[in-house]
Structure 1
Amino acid sequence: MHIYYIILVFASAFGGYFAYGRPHSISWLAAAVTNMFLAGFVYSNGRQIKINRAFAILCFCVALWTLSVFGLYIITDEHGAGHWIRFLRPGYFFLAPSIFYFMLALAKSDTGKNIRLVYVSFTIAAALSLLNYTGFFDEGIVSRGLSYFPKIGKRYIATLVNLGFWGGWGLFFIFRAYGRLASVRERQQLKYFFAGSSIALFLGLVSNTLFGLGHSVYPMGGIGIILYALIVSYAIIKHQLMDIEVIIRKGIIYAALTLSVIGVYAITVGISAGILGTRAGNWFTNALGGIVIALIFLPLRSRIQLAVDKLFFKDKYDYHKTLSDFSRDITSILDLELLFRLLVNNVTETMHIFRGCIMIYNPDRATYETRYCTGKDEEILRFELREADAPVEWLNKHASALNLAAHEESSFPQLRDRGIMLVIPLINKKRLVGMMNFGAKLSEDAYTSEDIELLMTLSGQAAIAIENDQLSARMRELEKSLHQADKLSALGTFASSLAHEIKNPLSSIKTFSQLMEKRFNDTVFREKFSAIVPQEIDRLEAVLNQLVDFGKESSLDFEPVKIGKVIDELFELVQYEALRRNIKVIKECGASLPPVAAVEQQLKQVFMNLILNAIQAMPAGGEVRISAAAAADSRIGDIVRVSVKDNGSGIPPEAMARIFKPFFTTKADGTGLGLSITQRIVRDHGGAIEVNSEPGNGAEFIVKLPVFAVAQP
């Protein structure tokens, strides 16, 4: 549509050239341009809305009529005037049906048999247009001053009767609608339209008809149409006659732009004449002016638009700017509940909306559930929509805002019963992840196309944030499952060690139980039994407790954990496996290590992975040295430094940069998850993990964990 407006701007300037020296024609040119602009803009911004379509048709017909009168003022020969009036006068004939159609739409009566009446009125207008081509309504072309005008005959009265009939019938629907409307805003809409139409009809049709009959009456039609446009424009701004408040803003912008373009052209011509001595109309001057205008047009339009917004539409500018700024910050909000609260509250408070809520899709129940709502209305808080419900189907089909003001009053009762007037879909990757529902504005103003466009931009950012959070939640669940799988994998690797730890006490218990029957009366035997069997049972219970503790899921609450205790428990678990592989495990821990802030089960997983890797790195046997000591780190602060070192073959240089990447492994049967999960756990604890290795001299993994800080009173 921008091309349409640009053409309109230059056409206005072109028409102004011909209007020079004929002041009576200027008002008609201005009226034609204004209505052409209104027709194009209203239609392009609401072609699916009946009242917008009807208003666009009316504006187009008014533009043709005023353009036909403008042409008569600038055409200087009788023959040309005759052809012109036959070509463009149909705009006047189609005024009657277009006025009737718009009045029906404004009164919300454009249904059923009334629509058939609209078809009849347009058919009559088409028949009158055909008669006009034969000269049926005129008695020749007469000279009036410097111009030529048709002298209308008595047959022309039929067209006035037609206009009065359909206009009067339309007013009947307007008056009837006025009586049943409860909304103050809608009553004001009808008042302003009636006032503007009356002025336009009286000044335009009456004065022009008398002028056409030969009476000395100043033709006020163009001025009447301009007054009509001003009154309707005021109604648009003050009482939201239609969703076209933005038209006024655009009209001011393009009017200022037209004057600026003319000014730039004049300056260019003046400079060219002063420096190069060229004349206006010279091809070089015109080309130079065109180039200058082309270069400055877009930047100039942006600057004028900003100035108009701040000067004439400050309230709109303020809340549009506020919400635009907020939309840029949405994706940085990580707490989903906070996002819902800020999103709904910001929109409802900034735009002064009665109610707002947000609904998010729950895949487990296949429903859209209310997650946040302004106020404590239990009915809204419990509100749900299924995938088969009409609002959801409409949003999935159209992927655009659902403005209930543009639909029949009987449609979408689930929304209307709860006071919802606008639904903004939350769509990401062509999937409806949720929706924002808003009630009416406190001012009773309608939602403009710019309001909806802004909210759609906001919803796009919100949908991305919601999808990111849901993906993060799934990733956390997957990571949790991988952590658990890694633990079980480690336990599987140490199965023989665990079997040995369990087998020894069971063997002792079995031996004593087999001898019990034969030596029950042996006092010494019973004393040994009483001393040894409970110890073996305690030992067995300790092994099983360690096994259960290591395998169970851990919480995310950090507590003071003693590293020495963790290493001691793992040391007991790995002893048999190490001996079986001819590996010596050496433990060197400081006497009084400070506790670290950690989740104990996750630390066990970290060190189990590192010890397991060290043992598996020495198939021919060797030595694993585990050491822990208090230290200080320039980045972390006070730490406990734990080292797990082996004297195996070391890590290949080409693998050093990739060992912590998920699914990278140098083992034939490895998963490549152990070190990746280890690094993630250490980082989640605010620590760091480092690796040192030289081919042939083994590898050393160093874990640095922050010391648990005791809160000061």
Structure 2
Amino acid sequence: MSFFAVTALVIAVINTFLGIFVLAQKPEDPRHRTYAAYCVSLSFWSGFYFLWLTADSVPQALLFARLMMAGATMIPVLHYHHVTTLFGRPKHHAKLLASGYSLGVFFLLLDPTGFFIQGTHQTPVTPYWPTPGVAFPFYLAYFFAYLALSTAMMFKRRRETTGIGRTQLEYILISTVVGYIGGSTNFPLWYDISILPYGNILVPLVTAANGYILIRYRLLDVHTIMKRGLAYGVTLLLVLLPLFGIALFAQKRFFGAIDPGFSAILLAAFGLIAVAFYRLKARIESAVSRSFFASSHEVTQSLAELARAVVQMLDLREIGQKLAATIATATGAKSCVLFVEDSTGYLRRSAAHPPARLSPKDGGISPEHAVCQVLKTNPLILREEVPGLRLQEAAGSVEQLFAADDFALLLAFREPSNKENGRLIGFCGIGQKESRRPYTADELKYLETLASQAAVAMENARLHEFHLDAQKQLERIDRLKGIEDVVSGLSHEIRNPLTSIKMFLQLLPQIRTQEDFVRTYYQAAIREMARIERLITELINLSRPKPPRLRKQPLNTIIESVVVLLKPTCRERSIELQTDLDESLPHVPMDEDKIRQVLINLILNAVEAVEGSGGITIATRLVVSENVPFARLTIADTGKGIRPDQIERIFTPFYTTKTRDKDRKGTGLGLSIVHRLIQEHSGTIDVESTPGRGTTFVIMLPIRMPPPPEEARPEDREHLAIETPRE
């Protein structure tokens, strides 16, 4: 069996497999169907190519040669059809496709006749090589014409494509051109030109490249494949070529000759073994690790799961406790203590396992301490490595820390943005193992990777805490601003009753004998004092917020208390503040202080929006949306309104519509805080406004108590995944 026959058989097997595999992925996809048809034509051609080269008579060889060319007649148009469907443009090339299929069928009908193949002639490959008939040159023209059309279409598509798609298209182009040049080496021998068809081995490149794009398009950069494949291929050549040479030498030595067919089969077997080894290597390593090194495998798995877990956490204390407990449990360490940087810059014990180790023995570690300086440049320090440290006083300080807590190693958590000599945000001291065994190289690699993940989690937690603190500060500033506006309006409301009471007291000595007059003034004074008391009570409620708590409360009552505070401000500006409250409205789950702040912000905004005299109406209604009951709260004013282009940005932090008016300059925080507070109640807020006619804010609050927020599942979060250390 010749090398060319073995090559043909391999091509037939490869294309048959690729055609079936790709078609099975998406049988309804026209790209997959045309690809499968193209593979069938190549398999048909190469299968009978193999039988033709193994034929032992002229009639048999001529039959197989005609069957071989029957598959070849459809190859050009099927490839062209596949390229058009690959780019989603078969309708744009309908005429060329129709012409191609017509020509393919025409040559298929001529194939059994002498017009296509006259007979056979002697060549270095086989004594039965086909002799072309008068129609064969026209077939060659058809073959290269449709190959040129396919290539031109891909070149045009390449100019229109960018990014990874462009790179992958370039590799399809290269594989197509190289594959067809290889296949074209079959044609010279038809005309007695001594060029042997060694290029057949390149033919599978076309189907392999197209099949890969169909199955894995855009999922992996082709540069990555080429880099990995080239590295692995060079390694295989360095190993397999000497082995293949030894096999050839052994044939010559023991059998007296080198058989090309046997050598080709041996080379193919070597290649298959190499590919199988590449695919099975990772699985075998994992199986061996689980079977023979179960404890070490469990440790690395636990550390990998810990790395995935900590990056999902946003509480610094929770991260520390999780790290300490899991590291100690997974590695079998006697103890694990976390030192984390606090607000003063010192590193203090924040978590420990067992918890008894959390009791601090000193006032913390200064960032200038020798231990911190060493950990900035050494992400992991084993106790045995301390004597070799290249700092004069560091070795003694580090050894003292190791001895104090019986640590076996120190693991640094360094600032993610600057890993080289970066700021140390914490470190972890890990004790000796209960078994007294040393830490393995894999465990140390996983611990180092875990440290980088933990540092990211710690920085995220710090930023989250800072964000929450900033939100609280903004709420406090906004609340104080509201109190300032309320107090300025209340000054007259308190001063006027006090003036009346003062006058009554001044007149009392003169009118004490006039009982009816005294009784009237006395009752009036009592009413004024009650009014002042209510105003002061509401002001105290506003200025002293209670701890956040979501519980069912009467929304109408809260609205009425806010109206009492803001009516004086409205009266000063000749604005009528009205309410239209639904008495049947049930209690609504809410935080009273936050809803009070929402109402004050929106009403004061409405006051500033009304120019001259006008009105503000606060209304509540019970509504049902999709079988879910809501309390609908509206605050409508007759002000100048908001432009449509401003409504889209009205809840954006620091965006304000008052910048053009010096007397009414705003911070742009009030409405953004209102929006967030409503969202915290699982509600919604919308704006309806017509310039020149006024604005209405519509708030929808659920009547039913919203469920507590659930911890997001791992698959719902974006997180960093730990990478498996590689040798």
TM-score normalised by structure 2 residue count: 0.56
Q: CA deviation at 1:606?
A: 0.3
Q: Distance in 2 between matches of 1:485 and 1:415?
A: 48
Q: Residue 384 of structure 2 corresponds to which residue in structure 1? A: 405
Q: Conserved in 2, the CA contact under 8 Å of 1:554 and 1:602? A: no
Which of 679, 682, 688 lines up with 2:678 in the alignment?
Answer: 682
Quick one: which of 606, 628, 639 aligns to 1:648? 639
For 1:695 and 1:710, how far apart are their aligned partners in 2?
Answer: 36
CA distance in 2, matches of 1:405, 1:693: 73
Which residue, out of 592, 595, 599, partners 1:607?
Answer: 599
Which residue does the alignment assign to 1:419?
Answer: 406
SS of equivalent to 2:407: coil
Task: Tell me: CA distance 1:390–1:298, structure 2 relative to 1, closer, same or farther (3 Å).
Answer: farther
8 Å contact from structure 1 (residues 269, 289) kept in 2: no
| Code of the aligned partner of 1:471 | L
From the superposition, tell whether residues 379 and 503 of structure 1 become closer, same or farther in structure 2 (CA, over 3 Å).
Answer: closer
Report whether the alignment pairs 1:317 with 2:297: yes
After superposition, give the CA deviation of every residue in 1:568-614 in whole Å (9 maximum; x if it has no partner).
11212222322333322221111132111222111111011111122
Counterpart CA distance in 1 for 2:524 and 2:423 is 67
CA contact (8 A) 2:299 2:443 kept: no
CA apart distance, 1:563:
0.7
Any conservation in 2 of the 1:361–1:368 contact (CA below 8 Å)? yes
* Residues 1:341 and 2:333 are matched in the alignment: no
Asked if the contact 2:313–2:461 (Cα under 8 Å) also holds between the matched residues in 1, the reply is no
- Give the 3-state SS of the residue equivalent to 2:584 in structure 1: coil
CA distance in 2, matches of 1:449, 1:323: 14
Instruction: Select 2:658's aligned residue among 667, 670, 673.
Output: 667
Contact 1:630-1:641 within 8 A present in 2 as well: yes
Match of 2:311, SS state, is: helix
Measure, in 1, the Cα distance between the counterparts of 2:544 and 2:259.
90
| Match runs of 1:83-122 below 5 Å | none
Distance 1:379 1:578 in 2: 58
Structure 2 letter corresponding to 1:499: S
Deviations 1:495-524 (A, max 9, x none): 442122212212212221332343344433
Q: How far apart, CA to CA, are the structure 2 residues paired with 1:677 and 1:322? A: 42
Q: Which residue of 2 aligns with 1:27?
A: none
TM-score normalised by L of structure 1: 0.57
- How far apart, in 1, do the equivalents of 2:407 and 2:541 lie? 53
Residue 694 in structure 1 maps to residue 687 in structure 2: no
Q: Quick one: structure 1 residues 629 and 303, their matched pair in 2 at CA, closer, same or farther if it must change by over 3 Å?
A: same
* 8 Å Cα contact 2:381/2:409 also seen in 1: yes
Q: Tell me what 2:65 maps to.
A: none
Cα distance in 1 between the residues matched to 2:237 and 2:433: 37
Q: CA RMSD in A?
A: 3.9
Shift of 1:620: 3.2
Mapped contact 1:390–1:412 kept (Cα < 8 A): no
Does the residue aligned with 1:611 lie in a helix, a strand or coil? helix
Contact 2:379/2:413 (<8 A) preserved: no
Which residue number corresponds to residue 590 of structure 1? 582
Q: Partners of 1:706 and 1:264 in 2: how far apart?
A: 75
Match of 2:239 in 1: 262
* Change in 2 beyond 3 A, CA 1:291/1:676: farther
Any conservation in 2 of the 1:484–1:553 contact (CA below 8 Å)? no
Segments of structure 2 that go 5 or more residues without pairing to the other structure are 1-230, 252-256, 388-394, 660-664, 708-727
Distance 1:333 1:496, change over 3 A: closer
Distance 2:349 2:495 in 1: 57
Query: How many residue pairs are counted as aligned between the two chains?
Result: 449
What is the rounded CA distance, in whole Å, between the counterparts of 1:638 and 1:610 in structure 2? 23
Which residue in 2 is equivalent to 1:356? Answer: 336
Q: Deviations over 1:84-108 (max 9, x none)?
A: xxxxxxxxxxxxxxxxxxxxxxxxx
1:528 equivalent to 2:520? Answer: yes
Corresponding position of 1:628: 620
Cα distance in 2 between the residues matched to 1:513 and 1:464: 70
Structure 2 distance, partners of 1:504, 1:452, is 78
Equivalent position SS for 2:541: helix
2:467 is the counterpart of 1:467 = no
Q: Name the SS of the counterpart of 2:533 in structure 1.
A: helix
Residue 304 (structure 1) shift: 5.9
Report if aligned partners of 1:640, 1:707 keep a CA contact under 8 Å in 2: yes
1:637-668 Cα deviation digits (max 9, x unpaired): 33211111123332211112111110001112
Separation in 2, partners of 1:445, 1:260 = 41
Judging changes above 3 Å, is the alpha-carbon distance between structure 1 residues 260 and 354 closer, same or farther for their aligned structure 2 residues? farther
Change in 2 beyond 3 A, CA 1:403/1:535: same
Cα distance in structure 2, aligned partners of 1:350 and 1:268: 50
Q: What percentage of residue pairs aligned between the two structures are identical? A: 26
User: Deviations 1:532-583 (Å, cap 9, x if unpaired)?
Assistant: 2232222112112212211223411222221111111121222232233332
User: Helix, strand or coil: the match of 1:377?
Assistant: helix
Tell me, in whole angstroms, the C-alpha distance in 1 between the residues paired with 2:259 and 2:539: 96
Q: CA deviation at 1:336?
A: 3.4
Distance 1:515 1:441, change over 3 A: same
What code does the residue aligned with 1:643 have? T
Give the SS at the match of 1:412: helix
Q: Which residue does the alignment assign to 2:699?
A: 703
